[in-house]
A = this chain, B = another copy of it.
Amino acid sequence: MQRSVFFISDSTGITAETIGNSILAQFEGVQFEKHRLPFIDDPQKAEAAATRIKTRYAQSGERPIVVNTMADRTLCDIVATSGALMLDVFAPFIGPLEDELATRHSGAVNRSHGLVDFEKYEARINATNYALSHDDGIDVDYAKADLILVGVSRSGKTPTCLYMALHYGVSAANYPLTDEDLEKLELPARLRPYKNRLFGLTIEPARLAQIREQRRPGSRYATLKQCQWELEQADRLLRQAGIPCLNTTHVSIEEIASKIFDQFGIERTMF
Contacts and interface: CB of A to CB of B under 8 A. Distances in A.
A2 interface: no
B101 A28 contact: no
Contacts of A218: none
A97 B28 CA distance: 13
Interface size class of A (residues with CB under 8 A): 35 or more
Interface of A is mostly: mixed
Interface stretch (A141-149, A159-167, A187-195, A234-242): A159-167
A252 interface: yes
Interface centre among A13, A85, A101, A267 (most CB of B within 10 A): A101
19 contacts: A19-B89, A22-B69, A22-B112, A22-B113, A23-B93, A27-B101, A29-B103, A35-B269, A36-B269, A38-B258, A39-B262, A85-B97, A87-B97, A113-B252, A116-B252, A128-B162, A132-B132, A159-B166, A166-B253
A106 interface: yes
A85 B100 CA distance: 8
Contacts of A15: 18-19, 22
Contact of A35 (B11, B94, B267): B267
Top-6 shortest CB links A-B:
A92-B92, A12-B258, A26-B105, A113-B254, A25-B112, A15-B22
A116 B270 contact: no
Interface string A109-153: 011111110000110111010001001000000000000000000
Q: How many copies does the complex hold?
A: 2
Interface in A15-70: 15, 17-19, 21-23, 25-30, 34-36, 38-39, 63, 65, 69
A271 to B, nearest CB: 5
A25 B111 contact: yes
Nearest to A65: B100
Contacts of A113: 22, 252, 254-255, 258
Contact of A90 (B23, B63, B211): B23
Nearest to A3: B101
A89 B257 CA distance: 22
A248 to B, nearest CB: 9
A182 to B, nearest CB: 23
A94 B23 contact: yes
A66 to B, nearest CB: 11
Nearest to A33: B269
Contacts of A166: 159, 162-163, 166, 253
A188 B235 CA distance: 49
